[in-house]
Amino acid sequence: MTDQRFRNAAGGRIDRSRPLTFQFNGRRYDGFGGDTLASALLANGVRLVGRSFKYHRPRGIVAAGSEESNALVQLGTGARTEPNVRATQAEMHDELSAASVNCWPSVEVDVGAINSALAAFLPAGFYYKTFMWPPRAWRFYEWFIRRAAGLGRAPTEPDPDRYEKTYAHCDVAVVGAGPAGLAAALAAGRVGARVILADESSEFGGSLLGEAATIAAAPALDWVAGAMAELAALPEVRLLPRTTVFGYYDHNHLGLIERVTDHLGPRTDTTLPRQRLWKVLARQVVLATGAIERPLVFDDNDRPGVMLASAARTYANRWAVRAGDRAIVVTNNDSAYPAALDLSEAGVNVQAVIDARETPPDAWREPLRVRGIDLAAGRTVAAALGRKRVEGAEVYELAADGSRLIGAARCYDCDLIAVSGGWSPTLHLFSQSGGRPRFDAGIAAFVPGESRQAERSVGAARGTFSLAGCLAEGFAGGAAAALACGFGDGVAPPVPATGDTPAGPLRPLWRVPTAGHGGKAFVDAQNDVTADDVELAAREGYRSVEHLKRYTTTGMGTDQGKTSNVNALAILADLTNATIAEVGTTTFRPPYTPVTYGALAGRSVGDRFDPVRMTGLHQWHEAAGALFEDVGQWKRPWYYPRRGETLHQAVARECGAVRASLGIVDASTLGKIDIQGPDALKLLNLVYTNAWDNLEVGRCRYGLMLKEDGMVFDDGVTARLGPNHYHMTTTTGGAARVMGWLEEWVQCEWLDMRVHFTSTTTHWTVVAIAGPNARRLLAELCPDIDLESAAFPFMAWRDGTVAGIPARVFRVSFSGEQSYEINVPSSCGVALWQVLMTAGAKYDITPYGTETMHVLRAEKGFVIVGQETDGTTTPQDLGMDWIVSKKKTDFIGKRGLTRADCGRADRKQLVGLLPENSKDTLQEGAQIVAEIRPKPPMPMEGHVTSSYWSAALGRPFALALLMGGRARHGQTVAVSSYGTTSWAKVVPPIFWDKEGERLRG
């Protein structure tokens, strides 16, 4: 337990009625509700919170918000641990536990700090210049580098938390709930616009939370409370605290991440998600994202205790925490003066304000004098003293051109150096929206340029730093945005009076001249990029700002350079004699702050990663012990092993049953499309390669579809149900593709064609019975269809009833046996299946899965699109010339087939293979080689597409694509797989019932 020695007895926005305890690096501390981890650590006097990425330098808290570059912690433990959390954004809850990242064995004693001693040899990009010998030793060096890489640790267990996503629409989205954002929301909300107001902080008010400002002669936070109350009462206004707008995408889409329960700590109640991803479509966007204070670049400016002046001020005002006992405030602009005064008010001994400007505005002199704070003008800090915490500062007079220090140092004894190098508007979202920032020399910062989307920036986000200005722009921006959506008259509400002190111009100060005793001046603290690194990059020719970024890694840390970018490019501009405007800024990329993967995945995890499609018979298959195969999104029975059976044994048994008696298979997943209209026939003639004119009602026909390049795309049987009515079937995986294909052609190319499509795939349960006893079984159950071959031949269909269920029966066969595909309404599928199983028992009816189906069809030489074809296969390659009409003047793909390459004699053609060794089932995917050599390379001339052991043949067989294969029947070829060679005879690709008597019989 500690005493919160740096916490003032009164003030701040913490909940003193809610004392909390937490752990940091294994030690227990006290804090209050409303604290962040950072404010609570500072209250307890903890200054050293982390180590830097490369040199493992001791680091403390620099900022009070999401721009924090140093204070990264591993938050929580176990499955809920989270790496690299900024202590400034971790809201305090009871029993919070956190630890410093990237240090071992502890943050106090860190072995990695040896890098600091070697720093002279580890400048930016040093790794590009060494570790090159001996050749191929890089992985040896890399092992050590990877040991040192990374900051925090990933959890080692699955995430126990839940995430949600939601869509929202609004008229005006206001990003940021500081004075400008609140004003904008008020102006838009009052006239009835639907407003979403989001702010990353737990509390609205923005900068006002950390300042002691006044509005309308009262504390500014009173005005905030009033605004909040008014907004909360407006029904069309939605307030989203703890919600970061992280991305500005096309067409005014915003990505928001809401931390719904993170601040409550680990919970067992999971009614609420951990975080929620909002996808907001806004008609107008008001960016009131504020500005970020810049640090100053001086020697050892990274010592714990060097802090942004605004942050020190915020800690004092918002959390009643003194960031130090004895402070100096160093600035080049006005904003640090109220900070100095507030610090002093909070009890910090502020010794001096060190202002780089020769003549600071007179308005500050008197308030400083009253507080006993010295003012040192024309001076700046050139070095921080101390190592694990600031122990002092060296202050020098600065030459008029800023190029050198003059005279001797004055040393201040202090533990806090509060710095302000000016302010950079937060342009991230503006830049993401497609806008180009423009450099404003007046405030030495980039400001938003022309808008590319329906957005406007207000307040500090566009470089207006006075409170009055922020309120005025907020009101005006909100009113204008509402008007653009048709609400109100665009007139801004009156601006209340504020207590602003007019600000004087700032003195740009990018690189404080070195004090000369070997300190490092950091530009990007998190990535350990120093001013010397920037100089080295420029010297080596990496002069583009993007090269600078990539060569030195400045701005590429988890803070994405929020505090470092402008300093870095200004120093680069100086070194290359260019203006800052010429150097330009790098592109800001989403997200503004890092976004949890789980939130982006949302509910699409686990079972919901991708929908599972199951047929109506799925539960029956499961109960029968089927193993399943994924086919697209479908689960199809693969095979039905009986006790102790292997795949091979089960499939042999299933195949045997079909060939000898009767099998039954669930064919419901086949795609089905109902086609109707006077031009249906015309369409079929265009999308299939064969002719459909003479297909009578009651008959069906097999067809192949090609793409325009002549390559096989899908296949299936289509039945003529009526004069203008067809039932098309497709492959299981191709159903949606074919449906889309037909729609596309009819809607985009043949606009006058009168034909309509309806997907009926899941309307039907399709059960195929196959085998010599198929007709016998069906006859028992189907009194109203004449099943004799003369009346119901192969490739015909009939309507009737099966087991009393209205059914459409197709006499088609994918097995080569006598076979009927019985289609019944999906709701009747289970009933049908059960009747068939019961009635078929006397024929030993055997359910079979996809594996058996594949064996049976392969014995017949029936191809599977996607297995015997791969997008480079023509009908001729498959030996299916017979299905390509010579008479039709046109069909899709006809011209493609006559291109030069399609006529080559050495194209890969479908053949059968019989392995010479009759025990040797070839590996599917084995390659046929032209010549066996002792070792590769060996020229290949085809591959095995399907290969099975055939119970019917009593031997293995295969289908293959082989160069010039049709002319090579009878030859023996070498088949190579994983270094093993098999020899196989090339045969025609049909192995069973070549005359087709069984399926027609």
Nearer to other proteins among residue 209 and residue 958 (C-beta) = 958
Told to check if 953 binds other proteins by CB under 8 A, we report no
- Enumerate residues 366-405 that contact other proteins by CB under 8 A: none
C-alpha–C-alpha distance, residues 1001 and 996, integer Å:
8
The answer to whether 607 contacts other proteins (rule: CB under 8 A) is yes
Identify whether the C-beta of residue 23 lies closer than 8 Å to the C-beta of residue 96: yes
Are the CB atoms for 729 and 720 separated by under 8 Å?
no
How far apart are alpha carbons 190 and 494 in whole angstroms?
13
Question: Under the criterion CB under 8 A, does residue 105 sit at the interface with other proteins?
Answer: no
The interface region with other proteins, picked from 107-115, 377-385, 468-476, 917-925 by CB under 8 A, is 917-925
* Cβ distance to other proteins smaller for residue 371 or 539: 539
For other proteins, give the closer residue by CB, 241 or 733.
733
Structure token pair of residue 375: 């003012």
The separation between CA 611 and the C-alpha centre of its own chain, rounded to angstroms, equals: 19
Contact stretch for other proteins (CB under 8 A) within 109-117, 126-134, 454-462, 951-959: 126-134
Select from 226, 449, 490, 896 the one that contacts other proteins (CB under 8 A).
896
Please name the amino acid found at residue 267: R
Question: Residues 263, 279, 410, 754: which binds other proteins (CB under 8 A)?
Answer: 279
- For other proteins, the binding residues in 303-322 under the rule CB under 8 A are none
In three-state secondary structure terms, 859 is helix
Q: Which is nearer to other proteins, 380 or 873 (CB)?
A: 873
User: Which residues between 609 and 648 bind other proteins (CB under 8 A)?
Assistant: 609-610, 612, 629-631, 638
Binding to other proteins in span 63-92, by CB under 8 A:
80-84
Residues 851 to 890 in contact with other proteins, rule: CB under 8 A: 866-867, 870-872, 889-890
CB of 572 to other proteins, least distance (A): 13
Q: How many chain residues are in contact with other proteins, going by CB under 8 A?
A: 131
Of 142, 222, 786, 881, the residue at the interface with other proteins (CB under 8 A) is: 142
Cα torsion at 53, 56, 59, 62 (round to 10°)? -20
The stretch near other proteins (CB under 8 A) out of 247-255, 347-355, 374-382, 988-996 is 247-255
> Measured between alpha carbons, how far is 261 from 273 in angstroms, rounded to an integer?
7
Q: Positive or negative CA dihedral for 465, 467, 473, 478?
A: positive
Residues 156-175 that bind other proteins (CB under 8 A): 156-159, 161, 165, 167
Question: What part of residues 195-234 is at the interface with other proteins (CB under 8 A)?
Answer: none
Query: Please, which of residues 918-937 interact with other proteins by CB under 8 A?
Result: 923-927, 929, 935-937
3-state secondary structure at position 958? strand
**Minimum CB–partner distance for residue 819 and other proteins (Å):** 24
Q: In what order do the strands lie in the sheet with 846-847?
A: 796-802, 805-811, 819-825, 764-770, 663-666, 846-847
Q: Which is nearer to other proteins, 502 or 934 (CB)?
A: 934
Residue 130 engages other proteins in binding (rule: CB under 8 A): yes
Q: Which of 152, 290, 304, 463 binds other proteins (CB under 8 A)?
A: 152
Interface segment toward other proteins; rule CB under 8 A; list 286-294, 419-427, 583-591, 676-684: 583-591
Residue 983 binds other proteins (CB under 8 A): no
Stretch that binds other proteins, among 294-302, 386-394, 780-788, 972-980 (CB under 8 A): 972-980
Q: How many CB atoms lie under 10 A from the CB of residue 898? A: 9
Least distance from other proteins to the Cβ atom of residue 973, Å: 14
Within a 10 A sphere around the Cβ of 856, how many other Cβ atoms? 30
The footprint of other proteins on residues 418-437 (CB under 8 A) is 432, 434
Residue 398 or 973: the one with the smaller Cβ distance to other proteins is 973
Q: Which residues contact 340 (CB under 8 A, 6 or more apart)?
A: 309, 327, 329, 350, 353, 368, 371, 373, 418
Three-point CA angle 399, 401, 406, nearest 5° = 10
Residue 577 binds other proteins, judged by CB under 8 A? no
Restricting to residues 549-568, which ones interact with other proteins according to CB under 8 A?
Answer: 550-551, 553, 556, 558, 560
799 bridge partner residues = 808
* Region binding other proteins by CB under 8 A among candidate stretches 321-329, 374-382, 584-592, 990-998: 584-592
DSSP code per residue over 91-133: B--TTEEEEESS-SB-SSSBGGGHHHHTGGG--TTGGGSSS--
> Is 253 a residue that touches other proteins (CB under 8 A)?
yes
- If binding is defined by CB under 8 A, does position 136 make contact with other proteins? yes
b/e sequence 649-660, b meaning 16+ C-beta within 10 Å: ebbbbbbbbbbb
Does the protein bind other proteins through residue 140 (CB under 8 A)? no
- Nearest CA-CA partner of 322 in 61, 45, 92: 45
**460 touches 500 (CB < 8 A):** no
Contact between 117 and other proteins by CB under 8 A: the answer reads no
Assess 678 for contact with other proteins (CB under 8 A): no
CA nearest to 352, candidates 764, 336, 361:
336
- Residue closer to other proteins by CB (options 120, 790) is 120
Gap between the Cα atoms of 592 and 584, Å rounded: 20
Residues 434-463 that bind other proteins (CB under 8 A): 434, 452
Residue 120 engages other proteins in binding (rule: CB under 8 A): yes
Q: Are 415 and 305 in contact (CB under 8 A)?
A: yes
The structure tokens 């059968």 sit at 912
**Min dist. Cβ of residue 568 to other proteins (A):** 16
**736 near 744, Cβ under 8 Å?**
no
Of 387, 410, 543, 756, the one binding other proteins by CB under 8 A? 543
Instruction: Give the nearest distance from C-beta 755 to other proteins in angstroms.
Output: 14
Helices (H), ranges, 346-462: 365-371, 428-432
Query: Given candidates 403, 646, 649, 747, which one binds other proteins under the rule CB under 8 A?
Result: 747
Amino acid (one-letter) located at 67: E
- Contact indicator for 499, 214 with CB cutoff of 8 Å: yes
Q: Quick one: which of 203, 645, 709, 844 contacts other proteins (CB under 8 A)?
A: 709
> Considering only CA atoms, which of 568, 541, 583 is closest in space to residue 125?
541
Q: What 8-state DSSP symbol labels residue 887?
A: S
Which of 9, 105, 121, 366 touches other proteins by CB under 8 A? 121
Q: Which stretch binds other proteins (CB under 8 A): 36-44, 224-232, 892-900, 964-972?
A: 892-900
Q: Which is nearer to other proteins, 783 or 903 (CB)?
A: 903
Name the one range near other proteins by CB under 8 A: 125-133, 306-314, 806-814, 877-885.
125-133
For residue 331, give the H/E element and its range: strand 326-331
What is the Rg, in whole angstroms, of the alpha carbon atoms belonging to the chain? 38
CB of 400 to other proteins, least distance (A): 27
> Could you give the CA distance from residue 825 to residue 820 in angstroms, rounded to a whole number?
16
Nearest distance from C-beta of residue 277 to other proteins, angstroms:
8
Among 5, 517, 642, 899, binds other proteins (CB under 8 A): 899
DSSP 454-465: SEEE-GGGGT--
CB of 543 to other proteins, least distance (A): 7
First CA to last CA across the chain, in angstroms?
91
- Give the shortest CB-142-to-other proteins separation in angstroms: 6
Spell out the SS3 assignment of 658-684.
HHHCCEEEECCCCEEEEEECCCHHHHH
Query: How far, in Å, CA of 626 to CA of 617, rounded?
Result: 11
Q: Least distance in Å: CB of 167 to other proteins?
A: 8
Selected from 544, 760, 762, 789, the binder of other proteins by CB under 8 A is 544
Closer residue to other proteins in complex, CB, 145/779: 145
Check if the beta carbon of residue 947 is closer than 8 Å to that of residue 957.
yes
The C-alpha atoms of residue 208 and residue 77 are separated, in whole angstroms, by 34
